[in-house]
Amino acid sequence: MKKLAFIGAGSMSEALISGIVGSKMLNGEDIFVTNKLNKQKLQTLKKKYQINYSYNLKELVEDADAVILAMKPKDVKEAINEMKVYLSKNTLLISVLAGVSIKSLELLAECTLPIARAMPNTSATVGKSATGIAMNKHVNESQKQFILNIFETVGLTTVVEETQLDAVTGLSGSGPAYIYYLVEAMEKSAVEIGLDRQIANELIVQTLKGAAEMLSTSSKSPEELRRNVTSPGGTTEAGLKVLDSFQVQDAFIQCIKEATAQSKRLGNALSEQLKISN
């Protein structure tokens, strides 16, 4: 791959550009980016990563090996309508747009293309994303490796069937917010029991890091790890009993199921808006 174009210059595009340039996967001169109106953002990205920007779609897309769609989902129809004349049958389209199906992209492009959908999360900005990726049958092995290489610059990747992407969205796409929600509660409780908020935050963050490392490196299941911390009659057991009394585990399960269902609803609504049936 020699040229990569980004349509959209938001936080996810910047995270990917930072990962790609930082890993030396591509040189900055091989990366092109555009957005609808914010030229100052494009100038900032150019200065920071030594990349190129342009509002000329022909210059951006015509000879690009891959194009990453990172605009707002509602703008995808207009964007593809404007660029499709410059796409070739070998142009790899990579979408990070929630709810926009591969079939929708194929029909909007009005030609047979290799297409991938990726669902990273906001932790990509610190190189710790968990990204699910689905591809159509036209993606060849070289392109598949290129896609994986891109998202591995910002974290872990896993290839899934497209039908599983709503579940990925509900689990890891929205997952950081669930963790932040938990940390909010832990901070509030810490203040109520007499700890300074800053000290509490440091303790909580380190606790999360340690628990994540244990989950990552231990051969034991989460249930086993939890039981190892939970001594009969001890403080952890007392706390967990309260969580059980409020059915917190069930609440988290329903939370993820509902987020997954909402991802499906949004995708169906967007497809209908685009007048495309999935």
Residue 278 has pLDDT above 50, yes or no: no
Burial of 16 (0-12, 13-18, 19+ CB in 10 A): buried
Burial of 231 (0-12, 13-18, 19+ CB in 10 A): exposed
Mean pLDDT score, 4-32? 96
Q: Within 13 Å, how many C-alpha atoms sit on residue 6's CB side?
A: 30
Residue 25: count other Cβ atoms within 10 Å of its Cβ. 17
Answer whether 135's CB lies under 8 Å from 159's CB: yes
* Structure token pair of residue 97: 């747009």
Summarised one tens digit per residue, pLDDT across range 97-155 is: 988 999 999 999 998 999 999 999 999 999 999 999 999 999 999 999 999 999 999 99
Rounded to 5°, the CA angle 243-247-251 comes to 110
For the question of whether the overall pTM of this predicted structure is more than 0.85, the answer is: yes
- Grade residue 2 by pLDDT with cuts at 50, 70 and 90: confident
Report the alpha-carbon distance of residue 79 to residue 190 in Å, rounded: 48
pLDDT in the model for residue 276? 58
* Structure token pair of residue 155: 């974290």
Mean pLDDT score, 23-37? 95
Q: Which of 98-107, 138-147, 218-227, 262-271 has the lowest mean pLDDT?
A: 262-271
Report the alpha-carbon distance of residue 71 to residue 35 in Å, rounded: 8
User: Where do the domains of the chain lie, and which CATH numbers do they carry?
Assistant: 4-162 (3.40.50.720), 173-259 (1.10.3730.10)
Mean pLDDT score, 249-257? 97
Buried b / exposed e across 154-184, counting CB within 10 Å, b at 16+? bbebeeeebebbbbbbbbbbbbeeeeeeebe
Please give the mean pLDDT across all residues of the chain: 94
Give percent of the chain with pLDDT exceeding 90: 90
The dihedral through the CA atoms of 213, 215, 218, 222 has a sign that is: positive
Any idea which residue has 């039981």 for tokens?
227
Residue 161 has pLDDT above 60, yes or no: yes
Report the alpha-carbon distance of residue 236 to residue 1 in Å, rounded: 52
